[in-house]
Structure 1
Amino acid sequence: MPSLHHDVPALRTENLTKRYGRLLALDGLDLSVAAGQVFGFLGPNGAGKSTTIRLLLGLARPTAGRAVVFDVPAQDVAAAHAHLAYVPADVALWPGLTGAEILALLAAVGPGTDLAYRDELVERFALDPSLPGRAYSSGNRQKVALVAAFATRAPLLVLDEPTSGLDPLMEQQFRAVVRAARDRGQTVFLSSHQLAEVEAVCDRVAILRAGRLVEVADVAELRALHRTEVTAIVRGPVPDLRSVAAVEGLQVDVPAGGAAGTSRLRFTLTGAPAAALRALAPTDVVSLRLREPGLEEVFLGYYDSARDGGDQDARVAP
């Protein structure tokens, strides 16, 4: 593995822009991914994620700006690729080579491979390496690429929709090996539209919409930007929550089948719950339920608030 400093970002883009004629596929992307982090790059199909990855890999030339991999310009493909392994969304294999031969070839041309770990991954992903490439289903082609990438010693793994074609059991294995890669100090850049997958494994998330960066935040921070739903059953006097700044949409009613003298309070809470909990503290609280939004709800909230062109891969440049 190349000698790298963990204080250097694994990936960095500065005003990264890509136009195809009058179509603007990526619009001034400024992004920094810390080394040793699992970073989710989130957006629906057509948001510009794959365009970004092509630029990061040096497979396309930016119209403006630049991309850097561990301080190596992405356009210096040979030098940049010495630091990374890549799994595309649609894996193509050499049809006449067996899975074992393909894995051996990829290990020979890559930045080094942990052969014992590769054998372990073959077992974990239930891959039959004796079959020729032409015999593999799309899911098994994906497994070959995942085994090769996760067994590598490359400090950066770039994964573009890596679990397409995998069944739920294999998705669980994928999540486990992502966490193991992070524990070994590798950086994982995960481009996906599968929100549960991103929420399960990522430390930090960027949301892309129509080629523009919408938000970059820790997963927990991203949820905190949005309201939490609170339901409380109280006995006796109903506390006055309307004066609590973080509380919105307060509703008070009598729960069906509830005990005499009980009331149900429902409201949404923005930010930290401390003020609302202090207001509830003097009350006889029978039950309290807080429901935080999942990443999917947060994500859909961004798109609901800006539906103009959010599902397009590119837009007409001015």
Structure 2
Amino acid sequence: MFKTVLVLRTANLLRLLSLAFLLSTTSALARPDLKPLGKNIADKGSACYQFESHLFTSADGKRRYKVWIGIPKKTLPAAGYPVLYMLDGNAAMARLSEPMLLRMSKGSLPVLVAVGYDTDLPFDVIARSYDYTPPGAERINEPRMRGRKGGGSHQFRQLLLEKIVPYVEERAPSDPQKRAIWGHSFGGLFVLDSFYNTAWFHDYFAAAPSLSWGRQRIVALAKESDPAHLQHKSLYLMEGDGVTEQRKGFASDLKDEESQLNQILEQKGVDLHLSRYPGQTHGQIFPSSLTDTLRIMSNTAQ
């Protein structure tokens, strides 16, 4: 009897230790790298772009944004420049390199607008949690928010369209048919929410959007969206294989969520482009999708 109890207790202990390890590993994988950033391409200078930066403040005065603008050192096209707005601008700027820009220069260089925060970190997790998530799920206990406030996408979009965009347009007029926005994770949520709610951009790149956030709030918004507002623009949905994250300990219904969203959008006549990143984790899709978006915007080969 004593041996049986001991074996059972040992087995239970091992299960608890395994669960603790799994949870700690999952938590670590879910957290972005928050080490301070060094100098980026704007600080180092580029043969292809002239960079400048400007600070903006949210309407409630609680968030400060740092926006980098990269203007091609090429003659302004008659129709205006292509332009790409990149969310999580601090981390996006850290991914830009001179060899990458030189490859892009073989095509049509877009104006680059990195919308970040006034910090030396790659992400401001508190600010982006509020700015990038749509309203309507405030009462849901969303574990990924870790107590942070969400639901501010409408206010952030207003700042983007009414303050940041005019500032950029004054310096580098854009081609209405070649305006784009890219975002990853919560940023991908904001891109989808913007696709439903604004026509200023022509191309919307949603990379690994957190579709399950807020009990699939972004999928519900797709159902509610007016088909007429989704025409004459394109949506690029850039996702993993729906398997890799599960292998690393994440319980995900990504395939079902994505299939449901795709079906809704296709029924509404959306010009939808799907890209897969097999074997890549949620975080790894950040640089891969950004590189592909830059390639598409500059019309250059891989």
Same fold (TM over 0.5): no
**TM-score w.r.t. length of structure 1:** 0.27
Q: Per chain length, whose mean CA-contact separation is higher, i.e. which structure has more relative contact order (CA < 8 Å, sep 6+)?
A: 1
Larger radius of gyration: 1
Answer 1 or 2: which has greater helix percent. Answer: 2
